[in-house]
Structure 1
Amino acid sequence: MSGAGQQREESPSADRLPFASVFESVLRGWAFNARSAVGPCASTDPGAVRLIWLKNIGRDGAIAERDPGADDWRSEVPEHLRLRAGDILLSSVVSGRPKAAVVREVDLPAVAVRSLLVLRPVEPLTADHARLVLAFLRSNVVGSLAVGSLQQHLRLSELKKLELPNDDRALSAALTDLSVAEQRLGGWAAEAGRLANSVFDDRSTGSEGARRRIIEAGQVTRLRSLAAAQLDDPGFIIRTRYPYPIALRWRNVEAQKTAGGQDDEGKEYSAVLEAAETLLGYSALATVALAHEAGISFKAMGTLKRKIAGGIGGPGFGDWKRVLEQIGEAAGVSDLPPEHPLHDLAALLADDEAQEACQSLNIKRNGDAHGRTHVPAVSAAKLDEAHSSLRLLIDRALFLADLQLLEVTQVVWDRHEQSDIVTLRRLMGDHPVVPTERIRYTGPDRIAPILYLADRDQGLHPLGPFLTCEKCAECAARSVFHVDKEQGALLQKSLDHGHSYPYRSDEEDLRAVGLRSAGP
């Protein structure tokens, strides 16, 4: 292991690194004398080196493209000051947030001038890690180190005391997505502005022609705006981005809320309770599957397995609730990587407000199941309370929109590329009929045609046999099932519409994970 690697292991925390373990040196920009004999040269002259000034670096971290005709080329640049690909340029003169950029091969040969610092990495940073370091260097934390009255300058002594962010692929991917979104939305805004400003530019078409051109050319822009506006509606996100069983149940809640007719409150009340149980059931079963994969066990998980393996009745709302309450304290969870989905699932019921909402729904669900509630005559206050509790929990489960439910239908090994060609469906949103995709998978483990959870890093976690997918024997809809029990008989029950029938898959899969007792 390299010296840099050893230093990184000694970092004070998992998400922070000492400055010296990331950058081996900090160089000040070239303070050449513009009046000296070292004059400008042409970009085509032998040994010509471009000067990069603070003004050449944008707030977005982009280094302006080279201008061969500019007076920004010198031939007598000291060799030790010449930039290398991967160097990070940081403004030493700060006004607001600092500027920072990474040097690319296309920017070379070059030298940083005066108001820039050159941070040279101990070893090349990955693109993801460099993105995080740049974001940190542009932050107010670094900007606050600048001192001075007329001009504020960064002090190297204070800069070198900083701890820098460690490599975090999930955070880096989120920053990339934000950057892409910013550029895309900015492009759309600019396009809309150009169209609006050009309405009377072309005199040859006349007012009617201009009108038609703006209406036709602006149609896509208007549709983009309408689609983006829907994302401000949380219900739209749930219907389109949550895992299929939850999204479908939520759509049923919204449909009942707006249906109109006799017994509306009762039907909506039932839809709310069913949606709540599906949300909790899906989350709990995913939790158990992920815990099993990670070799983690806890009391509620064992109780759930024993109930299915040897009990008379199957799991219910209370079992789902206990799984989600206990996973956060289970031994081994804290040792998982920060981006592991179990951390998000453990946070779902982690505070008093969520616990109260879940308990309220649990009581209502039990009352409904045991006939203690006259559903057709449920009060408006009780319905509002149930709806508010569901909404709180489903909003807390927004992370599920990032954890994609995948149905792998076929896996073919490509011996030439040494990878799997995987055929799959993304079961996200409120419709079971979704396009089939093919991807190339090069992960460490072979995969099978079962359900998987894809995490934010696109790692695949098996959900079977805790959750399975097949065409429902009763309604023929593609459905997500879990193992259930009724009077000792083994069943499979749909999370999305509630149909159940005798278990049809291989029971050996259940025995392998403790959901079926050993023996015949």
Structure 2
Amino acid sequence: MSSTNRQHEELLSADRLPFESVFSTVLSGWAFDRRAADGACGPADSGAVRLIWLKSIGRDGVISEPDSEVDDWRSDTPERLHLRAGDILLSSVIFGRPKAALVQEADLPAVAVRSLFVLRPAKPLSAEHARLILAFLRSDTVRDLATRTSGQQRLRLSQLKALELPNEDKALSAALADLAAAGQRLGEMAAEAGAVAESVFDRSTSPEEARQLIISTGRLTRLRSLAAAQLDDPGFIIRTRYPYPIALRWRNVEVQTGADGQDGAQAKEYAAVIRAAETLLGYSALLTTALAHEAGITCKAIKAFKGKITTGMGGPGFGDWQRILQQIGSAEGMSDFPPEHPLHELSTLLADEEAEEACQSLGTKRNSRAHGREDLPAVSVSKLNEAHDGLRFLIDRARFLADLQLLDVTHVVWDRHDESDTITLRRLMGDHPVVPTENMRHAGPGRIAASLYLADRDQRLHPLSPFLTCEKCEGCATLSLFHADKEQGVLLQTSLDHGHFYPYRADERALRAVGLR
């Protein structure tokens, strides 16, 4: 079994249900005699029932549309074998992976034939739970149960009933739904491209006219393809999908990398890499601190960070961010959070030896540079490459940040009838601070204020202020993200995206409320 499948199994094994607690009835497909012509009929005939064969089910779990020229229809099907909406069909003869499909109302009337099991739920399954069970039934785990009989891999009823099925997990189900929707969208694009190519000679056209037709009608398809191809470039993903401070710092790295040959280019590139690494860790640690405060948990590193702001002479640095990310995973109370909570992913960023080594190497380089122990013009190629490799490694591990949307909420209107907020916001994702505003309805627990939020995969909003705030920088008038800082005992606010700082302007009472003053 592959490592991916092992991880899948470990994920599901934590919470299983006995097969017979989910499915009260299992029917075998109708083994009718095809030579008996008496019951054969057309789809429009009275009492006609469609026969669903194994070939009628796609690998994507979709039952094919009825086709009067391909499908078989019978009027003599046993009533007890008639399918119901909500039944699950599973292949008993397996080629590759098992096929499984959910019967919909639109598929009826129908019966399953021969190489199919019909699994009838004891009670209606939610869409989320059905999606998980279907994914499990198509897995290697079920395939590996099948035994070879007469040259075929067959799944016995006794083997099926011995299975333990995944319990309902809305977060995992939502992730599977997103993946399926993405696959469907890509499939639609491929079909559209094929349709354009096939339609060129549907009319009488010259080669020149056909070429122009392909260019004009296929333009959108080609642009989609080019955009999709860019997603294979990690740099493009970081520039366009990562949170603004990280995306901007990465763009600066790429700009400096492209300036090879200019005076001091190598030193500038090295400095850009170090700043990008510090912003990555700083942003991740500040998210962690804000989420931990919301959840009512803490760790020694978070307390030390707060202590620097409240009583120290200097503010937090690379090492503080590193320790917060290293310690949060073992904080008391973390195990009580659901697996989809963002803190779990943040706790994995530096959770192994390779990540710690990369972080430590970058931290040492950052401190040497900050304390004047490095002659920047003389930065060696090997040291620059080492820094680049460390940054790429960490930023790739932080890819989950692309799913955690940074939202600057600028306006809120409360609808007392719907008991929901309509919020105006800017998604600060990608390497540019000027982004369009959009509206979103929020009916979650608690009221929303005009402030900075993190939206998780389920669109729950987590407040980030005052650990992170969003405002125009006094120095450059650019929309920027700031955090509380200290220098020689003076309270400051420092930008994560470009490093500008000045005395703290916001209401310090908010800092006191979270232990930062």
Do they fold alike, i.e. is TM over 0.5?
A: yes
Q: Secondary structure at the match of 2:205?
A: helix
Deviation readout 1:384-415 (Å, 9 max, x if unpaired): 11111111111111111111111111221112
Residue 391 of structure 1 is matched in structure 2 by 392
Residue 3 of structure 2 is matched in structure 1 by none
Distance change (3 Å), C-alpha of 1:387 and 1:122: same
Residue 20 of structure 1 is matched in structure 2 by 20
Query: Which range moves more in the overlay, 401-410 or 140-149?
Result: 140-149
Query: Which range moves more in the overlay, 340-349 or 22-31?
Result: 22-31
2:219 equivalent to 1:181? no
Checking the alignment, whether the CA contact within 8 Å between 1:202 and 1:210 is kept in structure 2 is: no
Residue 346 of structure 1 is matched in structure 2 by 347
Q: Secondary structure at the match of 2:423?
A: strand
2:483 equivalent to 1:494? no
1:26-41 paired onto structure 2 within 5 Å? 26-34=26-34, 39-41=39-41
Instruction: Name the CA distance, whole Å, in 2 between partners of 1:194 and 1:49.
Output: 33
Query: What TM-score results when the alignment is normalised by the length of structure 1?
Result: 0.91
2:110 equivalent to 1:110? yes
Q: Secondary structure at the match of 2:431?
A: coil
2:58 equivalent to 1:63? no
Instruction: Name the CA distance, whole Å, in 2 between partners of 1:204 and 1:54.
Output: 42
Report deviation, 1:461. 1.4
Query: Which range moves more in the overlay, 39-48 or 282-291?
Result: 39-48
Residue 450 of structure 1 is matched in structure 2 by 451
Instruction: Name the CA distance, whole Å, in 1 between partners of 2:196 and 2:304.
Output: 63
Structure 1: gaps (5+ residues)? 1-11
Supply the RMSD in Å over aligned alpha carbons.
Answer: 2.3
Deviation readout 1:464-510 (Å, 9 max, x if unpaired): 11111011111111101111111212111110011111212222211
Amino acid at match of 2:355: A
Report deviation, 1:434. 0.8
Residue 9 of structure 1 is matched in structure 2 by none
Distance change (3 Å), C-alpha of 1:115 and 1:215: same
2:426 equivalent to 1:431? no
Amino acid at match of 2:372: G
2:473 equivalent to 1:472? yes
Checking the alignment, whether the CA contact within 8 Å between 2:239 and 2:430 is kept in structure 1 is: yes
Residue 364 of structure 1 is matched in structure 2 by 365
Checking the alignment, whether the CA contact within 8 Å between 2:50 and 2:71 is kept in structure 1 is: no
Q: Secondary structure at the match of 1:152?
A: strand
Residue 228 of structure 2 is matched in structure 1 by 228
Amino acid at match of 2:497: D
Report deviation, 1:62. 1.2
Distance change (3 Å), C-alpha of 1:67 and 1:217: closer
Instruction: Name the CA distance, whole Å, in 2 between partners of 1:157 and 1:356.
Output: 51
Query: Which range moves more in the overlay, 53-62 or 323-332?
Result: 53-62
Checking the alignment, whether the CA contact within 8 Å between 1:41 and 1:71 is kept in structure 2 is: no
Residue 5 of structure 1 is matched in structure 2 by none
Report deviation, 1:37. 9.1
Report deviation, 1:246. 0.3
Instruction: Name the CA distance, whole Å, in 1 between partners of 2:46 and 2:196.
Output: 47
Residue 509 of structure 1 is matched in structure 2 by 510
Distance change (3 Å), C-alpha of 1:110 and 1:436: same
Amino acid at match of 1:265: Q
Instruction: Name the CA distance, whole Å, in 1 between partners of 2:35 and 2:382.
Output: 82
Report deviation, 1:135. 1.6
Report deviation, 1:463. 1.1
Instruction: Name the CA distance, whole Å, in 1 between partners of 2:367 and 2:153.
Output: 65
Instruction: Name the CA distance, whole Å, in 2 between partners of 1:53 and 1:89.
Output: 10
Instruction: Name the CA distance, whole Å, in 1 between partners of 2:360 and 2:69.
Output: 72
Instruction: Name the CA distance, whole Å, in 2 between partners of 1:236 and 1:255.
Output: 13
Checking the alignment, whether the CA contact within 8 Å between 2:13 and 2:166 is kept in structure 1 is: no
Distance change (3 Å), C-alpha of 1:207 and 1:65: closer
2:323 equivalent to 1:322? yes
Distance change (3 Å), C-alpha of 1:196 and 1:34: closer
Amino acid at match of 2:383: K
Structure 2: gaps (5+ residues)? 1-11
Report deviation, 1:193. 4.2
Residue 3 of structure 1 is matched in structure 2 by none
Report deviation, 1:13. 5.1
Checking the alignment, whether the CA contact within 8 Å between 1:312 and 1:489 is kept in structure 2 is: yes
Deviation readout 1:160-216 (Å, 9 max, x if unpaired): 2222223333333333333333333333334444545666x3684323222222222
Checking the alignment, whether the CA contact within 8 Å between 1:263 and 1:377 is kept in structure 2 is: no
Q: What is the number of equivalent residue pairs in this alignment?
A: 505
Checking the alignment, whether the CA contact within 8 Å between 1:408 and 1:425 is kept in structure 2 is: yes
Query: What TM-score results when the alignment is normalised by the length of structure 2?
Result: 0.92
Amino acid at match of 1:18: P
Report deviation, 1:440. 1.1
Instruction: Name the CA distance, whole Å, in 1 between partners of 2:131 and 2:486.
Output: 50
Amino acid at match of 2:377: P
Instruction: Name the CA distance, whole Å, in 2 between partners of 1:323 and 1:281.
Output: 10
Quote the sequence identity (%).
71
Amino acid at match of 2:336: D
Checking the alignment, whether the CA contact within 8 Å between 1:146 and 1:152 is kept in structure 2 is: yes
Q: Secondary structure at the match of 2:58?
A: coil
Residue 272 of structure 2 is matched in structure 1 by 271
Report deviation, 1:359. 0.8
